[in-house]
Amino acid sequence: VSLVLNYDSGISISEATRQRVLEAARELDYRPNAAGRSLRRQRTGLAGLMLRRTPRQENANAFLSPVMDGITSVLGPAGFQLLVEAVDETRPDAYVNLLRGARVDGIIFSRATPDDEPLIRLDADHHAVVLWGQLAGSNLPFVDVDNARGARSAVEHLVSLGHKRIACITNGPIRYVGSESDDRLRGYREALVGHHIPVDNDLIRFGDFDERSGYEATRSLLAEPDTPTAVFVASDEVALGALEAARTADVRVPDQLAVVGFDDLPSSRLISPSLTTVRVPARDLGAAAARMLLERIELGTRPSSIFLDTELIVRESSGRELLTR
Amino acid sequence: VSLVLNYDSGISISEATRQRVLEAARELDYRPNAAGRSLRRQRTGLAGLMLRRTPRQENANAFLSPVMDGITSVLGPAGFQLLVEAVDETRPDAYVNLLRGARVDGIIFSRATPDDEPLIRLDADHHAVVLWGQLAGSNLPFVDVDNARGARSAVEHLVSLGHKRIACITNGPIRYVGSESDDRLRGYREALVGHHIPVDNDLIRFGDFDERSGYEATRSLLAEPDTPTAVFVASDEVALGALEAARTADVRVPDQLAVVGFDDLPSSRLISPSLTTVRVPARDLGAAAARMLLERIELGTRPSSIFLDTELIVRESSGRELLTR
DNA sequence: TTGTACGCGTTATCAT
DNA sequence: ATGATAACGCGTACAA
């Protein structure tokens, strides 16, 4: 029975019994039992997606839908299903049980922190782990966008429009070197340096992941003696605050202040002025992570990490060329 | 060993051996094997979330994050994990295997269609199924918001501001009576009738789930001989199109046209003018669905369906009272 | 209180 | 080509 149901060809079963088995299976509406199969095969056909729930951005996750779509689009055809689990402070090592208890064959871990010992150990023990987002100081396989390069493309866009006084608002405090926030800030600096524009630290503000911080940072930038003509904001959410600040200060966007964001949230296309931004290919990242995970599970090899390209999406908020003064 | 590890009290094991077992478990870093446990217990500790992927709103799902958060917040403490699967046209009955193959103990099914025979049969066979979104003509247990009531609250808000010419744009074509789109349109009608305002069918437009359709519907409404002073749009996404249409037509919101949406997407708070809307408590709905599913799984009873209340969120787009003409 | 043995459902292996 | 059997890891029923 097992041979008939699990192999399409290359098995030595007479056609007669083959049909007999298939007929019986149909009649009984037979479906193989997942637990029995997992136990015997020593494989679950399940992959885990670990989502870090920070109290701050608790329900923000706009990327979740496309990411999961990308993951399942790869896992599904390979015969894998997806188990999603939130990793929070109450049970910080839940994912350890997932792998060590063989509930899943591998996990995709989003936004790992640099000091996650149990995670490092899982990797060392040849468990299939793949990271969503680069982890500085570890050699765990990851997928990520090149944040510095994406930031450079945004700032170079502003430079090409004629801007020289370009401010930067990060999407959050710089927690450690090599973090997303750090890389985007670095890209901003590199772009300026590359075009021989001096980096003015008075034009750099540190956001706090939310719209409000973007609002306040922009207010304070507009109060600078030598007002910037453009601002690169390292996330769309924070950039929305920048647009709001410009609006309330009667500063026209993009004429008086050009704004470029990062992420390309669904709403960024819809607001007015629509937001020029750096698109993060969430679905592709999900698919890439899933492919890497499959490689690790099925081949047992250690996949090499992947950087995907961002894409600059030019919209109204940076729109026109700067009038020469 | 099993007794020691699975029961805190009420077992007849000497303290000495109890400690010996615990010590050994710690030393070995023992974790129970999920498949073995599932097989023996005849329970997987997994619940399935079936997401309907329509080609149209493929990456839209802004509710996904809070919904999953709500679900896991209930399932987690009960010892259940979540398996997420997209149900698409390629394998329309994948969820049948999920239950009949005992991969999961129950499923939450989002946006079921009225003619889903296999789903009805699963329910009849006492499988644990719970619906996200009411399904007209079936008696499957569901969670939903009272769409008609939510729509009424939105329109009554407009009436209370003095509006009499109130248009309606649905969020999509009316596929069947009792659908979300139908209920919201019905609520609009009921509110008008309840306040003795005649329902003018010339003020009703059928959107198509996207911003563009809202834009076009609003343009056409603004071309009406007796222009409406307010419009109820049955989804925020479509309402964004309405705002854009007003903007390009130099119609001031809310002074010349008040706009109320439905859903309360994350961006609705952030745009300008911020959108008055009817909030759908996505997280609570998720939690409620999970509670119902647990009841069905653990008690084997048939939970009664639940309507959760929407909440009217008044923002700028409906803002002021209408000046009497 | 402790030890043993069985069976959950599947699949791989080994003889026939 | 077919049939019989063992084993995956767990929890429980029963014997000791």
* Residue position matching structure tokens 């009411």: B134
Confidence class for position B137, pLDDT limits 50, 70, 90: confident
Q: What is the pLDDT of residue B295?
A: 98
For B40 and D8, how far is CA from C1' in angstroms?
12
pLDDT tens digits along B141-200: 999 999 999 999 999 999 999 999 999 999 988 888 888 999 999 999 999 999 999 999
E strand segments, chain A: 46-52, 81-87, 106-110, 128-132, 142-145, 166-170, 204-206, 230-233, 258-260, 277-279, 306-308, 311-313
Nearest nucleotide (C1') to alpha carbon of A18: D1
Contact (CB<8Å) B84/A84: yes
Going B259 to B260 to B265 to B269, the CA torsion angle's sign is positive
Please tell me the distance from the alpha carbon of residue A231 to that of residue A262, in angstroms, as a whole number.
12
Closest nucleotide to B39's CA, by C1' atom? C8
**Do A267 and B272 lie within an 8 Å CB cutoff?**
no
pLDDT score of A318 more than 90? yes
Looking up tokens 């993951």, which residue turns up? A71
pLDDT band for position A55 (50/70/90)? Answer: low
- Which pLDDT value is given to residue A175? 84
Beta pairing, strands B277-279 & B311-313: antiparallel
A170-214 pLDDT, tens per residue? 998 888 888 899 999 999 999 999 999 999 999 999 999 899 999
% of residues, chain A, pLDDT over 70: 96
- Which residue in B53, B97, B266 is closest to A31 by CB distance? B97
Using CB atoms, pick whichever of B84, B96, B240 lies closest to residue A68.
B84
From the CA of B73, how many Å to the nearest CA of chain A? 9
Q: What is the 3-state secondary structure (H, E, C) of B95-164?
A: HHHHHHCCCCCEEEEECCCCCCHHHHHHHHCCCEEEEECCCCCCCCCEEEECHHHHHHHHHHHHHHCCCC
- Choose, out of A40, A65, A107, the residue to mutate when testing the contact with B (most B CBs < 10 Å): A65
Q: Which of residues 31-50 of B touch strand D (CB under 7 A)?
A: 31-33, 35-37, 39-41
Q: Model-level pTM?
A: 0.94
> What pLDDT is recorded for position B60?
58
Residue B57 confidence (pLDDT): 57
Residue A5 Cβ < 7 Å to strand C:
yes
Do A44 and B36 count as a contact with CB atoms less than 8 A apart? no
**Amino acid B323: pLDDT:** 58
- Partners of B87 in the beta sheet? B52
Neighbours of B309 (CB within 10 A): 12
Q: What is the mean pLDDT of residues B267-272?
A: 89
Mean pLDDT value across residues B250-273: 94
Average pLDDT over residues A305-315: 97
CB-based contact B87:A77 (threshold 8 Å)? no
pLDDT of residue A52: 87
Q: Tens digits of per-residue pLDDT, B60-80? A: 588 999 999 999 999 999 999
CA distances from A201 to A155, A216, A221 (A): 16, 17, 11
> For B292-308, what is each residue's pLDDT tens digit?
999 999 999 999 999 99
Predicted confidence at residue B7, as pLDDT, reads: 86
Closest among B192, B182, B264 to B230, alpha carbons compared: B192
Pairing of strands B81-87, A81-87: antiparallel
**pLDDT value at A133 more than 90:** yes
The answer to whether A236 and A265 have CB atoms below 8 angstroms apart is: yes
DSSP codes joined into one string, B154-195: HHHHHHHTT--SEEEEESS---STTSHHHHHHHHHHHHHHHT
Q: Which nucleotide is nearest to A37 (CA to C1')?
A: C10
Cα–Cα distance, B147 to B310 (Å, whole number)? 8
Name the residue of chain B whose CA is nearest to A268's CA. B267
**The tokens of A82 are what?**
């997806």
Asked if pLDDT for residue A146 goes beyond 80, the answer is: yes
Q: In this predicted structure, what is the pLDDT of residue B230?
A: 98
Residues A27 and A38: their CA atoms lie apart, in Å, by 24
User: What pLDDT score does A59 carry?
Assistant: 45
Distance from C-alpha of B103 to C-alpha of B82, rounded to nearest angstrom: 11
pLDDT at B325: 43
> A232 and A258 in contact (C-beta within 8 Å)?
no
> What residues of chain B lie within 8 A of the CB of A280, using their CB?
none
Asked if B66 lies within 8 A of A84 by C-beta distance, the reply is: no
Provide CB contacts within 8 A for B225, sequence distance 6+: none
> Strand D: which residues 26-55 of A lie within 7 A (CB)?
36, 39-40, 42
Say what the pLDDT of residue A172 is: 87
Confidence of residue B47 (pLDDT cuts 50, 70, 90): very high
For residue B43, pLDDT over 60 is answered with yes
Q: Could you check: is the Cβ of residue B7 within 7 Å of any atom of nucleic acid strand D?
A: no
Element (H, E) at B52: strand B46-52
Which member of A96, A97, A240 has the closest CB to residue B270? A240
More confident site: A176 or A250: A250
Q: Check if the beta carbon of residue A200 is closer than 8 Å to that of residue A227.
A: no
Is A249 within 7 A of strand D by CB distance? no
Between the alpha carbon of residue A139 and those of residues A135, A145, A175, B107, the distances in Å are 8, 17, 19, 38
Does the structure show a pLDDT above 50 at A325?
A: no
The answer to whether A149 and A262 are in contact (CB under 8 A) is no
- CA of B8 and C1' of D5: distance in angstroms? 38
Is the predicted pLDDT of residue A13 greater than 80, yes or no?
A: yes
